[in-house]
Structure 1
C-alpha cells in the first residue's frame, strides 16, 4: 500500500511539473549574462562529441527559462 501511495505521489509531481509553462528554448550567445537561481532540469550529457543540449532553469524572479547551448559530451572514453 505504501508503494502504491509513493508511486501515485511521484506521478502527480511529474504531472505538475509537465504542466508548468516552460517557454521555448533560447539559444545561448557567448558573453550572455544569465540569471540562474536554480537548475530545474539539467542537460543530458551522456553522449560523445559536440551537440546542442537544453537546460531548464529558474531565475531570481521565479520564472522558468529553457536554454539551448552546444557542449561536449562526457562519454567519449579515451577519445580526444
Structure 2
C-alpha cells in the first residue's frame, strides 16, 4: 500500500514539473512573425538586425525588437541587398 502511494505521488510531481518546462522555453525564444504591409509594428527598442549582403536581389532579413510592453518579437521581412550599383 505504501509503495502504491509513493508511486502515485511521484507521478503527480513528475507531471506537474513536465508541464512547466515548455512555457519557460517559449518565453525565451519568441515566434518568428512574417511582415506584411498590414502588420502593425510597435517597436520600442531594436535588439538586433541581420546585415544586408552585397548582392543585387531581394534577400530575407530578421529584426529582433521589444515592443512598448517589454515583450520580445522576431520579425522576418524582405529588402533589396546592398550590391546594386546606380550607374
TM-score normalised by structure 1 residue count: 0.64
- Give the superposition deviation at 1:72: 0.6
Structure 2, gaps ≥5 residues long: 1-26
Measure the CA separation in 2 of the matches of 1:31 and 1:51: 20
CA offsets 1:9-37 (integer angstroms, 9 cap, x no match) = xxxxxxxxxxx813121101112110000
Alignment of 1:50-65 (within 5 A): 50-65=58-73
- Give the superposition deviation at 1:47: 2.9
- Give the superposition deviation at 1:53: 1.0
Name which of 37, 40, 57 aligns with 1:30: 37
Measure the CA separation in 2 of the matches of 1:60 and 1:38: 8
In structure 1, what is the equivalent of residue 54 of structure 2? 47
- Give the superposition deviation at 1:65: 0.2
Q: State the structure with more CA Rg.
A: 2
Tell me the C-alpha RMSD between the 2 structures.
Answer: 1.9
TM-score normalised by structure 2 residue count: 0.59
Structure 1, gaps ≥5 residues long: 1-19
Measure the CA separation in 2 of the matches of 1:58 and 1:44: 19
Structure with a larger share of its residues in helix: 2
